[in-house]
Amino acid sequence: MKKASIFLIALFFGIAFNSFSQTATAQADFYVGKWEVIIIGTPNGDSKMITTISRKDGKLVGEMTNPVEPTTPTNPLTSVEEVDGKMTIFFSTSGYDLAIPFEKVDNDNLKGKLMDMFDVTAKRVK
């Protein structure tokens, strides 16, 4: 009887530990993937880009491409920060260093602001 109790306790903790570790991994990789990012209302109209985020050595990294000109080289993100469940991407364009802080809307959508002036949306590309 004592052996059965020890076995059941070990089994319970094993299942609980496995469940928690998978949940943490899934949450940690929420931003990993391909995102269609749209900056709304710029002086040149809405701007669309494809941003690919991956995890390298435990940190988020990424690159942007222009979907209108797929033959142009990708533009690596300067950096990607992940703090308190939010992600900020940093990049350079036309001589300006820019950042877009994103927050999660749902499992496939993000929202943010560029320079506190332009609304930005991101939709996961499946």
DSSP character string of 12-57: HHHHHHHHHHHHHHHHHTTT-EEEEEEEEEETTEEEEEEEEEEEET
In terms of domains, do 81 and 116 share one?
Answer: yes
Q: Which whole number is the average pLDDT over 51-79? A: 91
In terms of domains, do 19 and 42 share one?
Answer: no
In terms of domains, do 20 and 35 share one?
Answer: no
Selection from 79, 84, 87 nearest residue 124 by Cα: 87
For residue 47, pLDDT over 90 is answered with yes
For residue 117, pLDDT over 80 is answered with yes
Q: Look at residue 43 in the predicted model and tell me its pLDDT.
A: 92
Q: Look at residue 52 in the predicted model and tell me its pLDDT.
A: 96
Q: Domain range holding 54?
A: 31-124
Q: Which whole number is the average pLDDT over 51-64? A: 95
If pLDDT is split at 50, 70 and 90, which confidence band does 93 have? confident
If pLDDT is split at 50, 70 and 90, which confidence band does 70 have? confident
In terms of domains, do 10 and 50 share one?
Answer: no
Q: Look at residue 18 in the predicted model and tell me its pLDDT.
A: 52
Q: How many domains does the chain have?
A: 2
pTM confidence score: 0.76
Q: pLDDT for 13-27, tens place per residue?
A: 455 445 444 444 445
Q: Which whole number is the average pLDDT over 104-121? A: 96
